[in-house]
Structure 1
Amino acid sequence: MNHANLLAIAPIVALAACASMPDAPRLAPSQERFWDALSSHCGNAYEGGLASSDERDADWSGKRMIAHWADCSDTRVAIAFHVEDAEAPGGWNRSRTWLVSRTADGLRLKHDHRHEDGSEDTVTQYGGDTLSSGTARIQDFPVDAFSIALFEREGLDASLTNVWRIEVDDAQAGGARFAYQLTRRNDPTRLFRVEFDASDPVAPPPPAWGW
């Protein structure tokens, strides 16, 4: 087949590929705006750190952290969470990736935890689904049944009432911020929160382990 014919059929192939892709589930208006804001950071990386002061997180205090929008599609955004760690290979723990997905019922947050060789950690793929439409900037993810069963199996009873939160501003917004937060319904004193300056991209780090 000559070059001209290849050029002629290329648009047809592209259209066929698009037609075969499933449509992304429709979301509530506030969640659509949240998704747009989250997706606006695709490819970017930002530096941040611990913003809460719970003594249970003392080991996290003062450590550099980077959130990297490492992989994006119409239905999923993968944000690698890199934490400075002198004991980890290369001085960074790259074991964590946050996965935010569109579902038929709203938004879902999962935690992908892996070892340096790429294998999955025993405690991984836990998270939750939105139970309300939230706001254009904030979405909460209460722990789901799969995660409760996982935590019970692994003896992590303190995590049975986890609620995770993601806050994000559009990349074009002045002073844009990104935050990840953990609280627990049965423990009003529990707060883990990290914040990132999403208005000032930094060089993307190496891939998270397993990615």
Structure 2
Amino acid sequence: MSLLVTACACSSCAPAPNLHEMMPKAQADFFTLFKNLCGKTFVGSTVYPNDPNHDFANKKLIATVEECHNRVIRIPFTVGDDKSRTWVLIASYQGLLFKHDHRHEDGTPDRITNYGGYSAKYKKEPVTATKQFFHADEFTANLIPDAKTNVWMLEYKPETKELVYYLERHGKPRYKALLKQVN
């Protein structure tokens, strides 16, 4: 009996804290929005840069909101035949965290993986329930020094069922993808 009581004292047995107690409302609402998109697939292409030599040029992009847990959402992001990328949204007491998980075909982590950052306003634009800006964290700056000024933006447009992934570096556009919900 004492083993049972001890086992249930662990955090996995305790009820999950309310998202709105963990982070600002707009971040919690954004996480909930994506959790509600679980099972949805988005298909699209690169919008920027318009460079035929870019790694993602002329490749079909697919993002599927696939794994939706209480505090973690995983969104595999396929570029052509390359299935090595997954976007990860993490609800935490420090705020909403966005990471890029890169894996080899055998499932082992790539040398460059787990980069990203926490949500915060950008260029005086606040985060909202449908749009978040994620600023490169210290881990990212150490892993990829050139990316220390990166700001990623994720936006879901409910009226058009579009997903936008956008990246700026040094305050200038670096990459943009537009994907349309297909299911």
Q: TM-score, normalised by structure 2?
A: 0.82
The corresponding residue for 2:163 is 178
The corresponding residue for 1:94 is 83
- Structure number with bigger Rg: 1
Larger CA deviation: 21-30 vs 120-129 = 21-30
Structure 1, unpaired ranges of 5+:
1-16, 85-91, 202-211
User: Is residue 167 from structure 1 mapped to residue 155 from structure 2 by the alignment?
Assistant: yes
Given that residues 16 and 70 in structure 2 are in contact (C-alpha distance below 8 angstroms), is that contact kept between their aligned partners in structure 1? no
Amino acid at match of 1:39: K
The corresponding residue for 2:132 is 139
Select the residue among 41, 44, 47 that pairs with 2:43: 47
Given that residues 54 and 191 in structure 1 are in contact (C-alpha distance below 8 angstroms), is that contact kept between their aligned partners in structure 2? no
More helix by share: 1
Residues matched between the structures, number: 167
Q: TM-score, normalised by structure 1?
A: 0.72
For residues 49 and 143 of structure 2, the distance between their equivalents in structure 1, rounded to whole angstroms, comes to 27
Q: Secondary structure of 1:100's partner? A: strand
Q: Structure 2 matches for 1:48-127, cutoff 5 A?
A: 48-55=44-51, 58-84=54-80, 92-127=81-116
User: Is residue 195 from structure 1 mapped to residue 178 from structure 2 by the alignment?
Assistant: yes
C-alpha spacing 1:130/1:61, structure 2 compared with 1 (3 Å): same
For residues 136 and 12 of structure 2, the distance between their equivalents in structure 1, rounded to whole angstroms, comes to 34
Query: Alpha-carbon deviations, 1:108-129, whole Å to 9, x = none?
Result: 0011000001110000001000
For residues 197 and 161 of structure 1, the distance between their equivalents in structure 2, rounded to whole angstroms, comes to 28
How far off is 1:54 after superposition? 4.8
Could you list the runs of 4 or more consecutive aligned residues of structure 1 that deviate by over 4 angstroms after TM superposition? none
Query: Alpha-carbon deviations, 1:33-81, whole Å to 9, x = none?
Result: 2222211210121211111125386332221111011201111110000
How far off is 1:21 after superposition? 3.8
More strand by share: 2
The corresponding residue for 2:6 is none
How far off is 1:193 after superposition? 0.8
For residues 153 and 71 of structure 2, the distance between their equivalents in structure 1, rounded to whole angstroms, comes to 19
User: Is residue 149 from structure 1 mapped to residue 138 from structure 2 by the alignment?
Assistant: no
Q: Secondary structure of 1:51's partner? A: strand
For residues 160 and 166 of structure 2, the distance between their equivalents in structure 1, rounded to whole angstroms, comes to 19
Given that residues 166 and 179 in structure 1 are in contact (C-alpha distance below 8 angstroms), is that contact kept between their aligned partners in structure 2? yes
Q: Secondary structure of 1:136's partner? A: coil
Q: Give the fraction of aligned pairs with identical amino acids, expressed as a percent.
A: 29
For residues 85 and 111 of structure 2, the distance between their equivalents in structure 1, rounded to whole angstroms, comes to 13
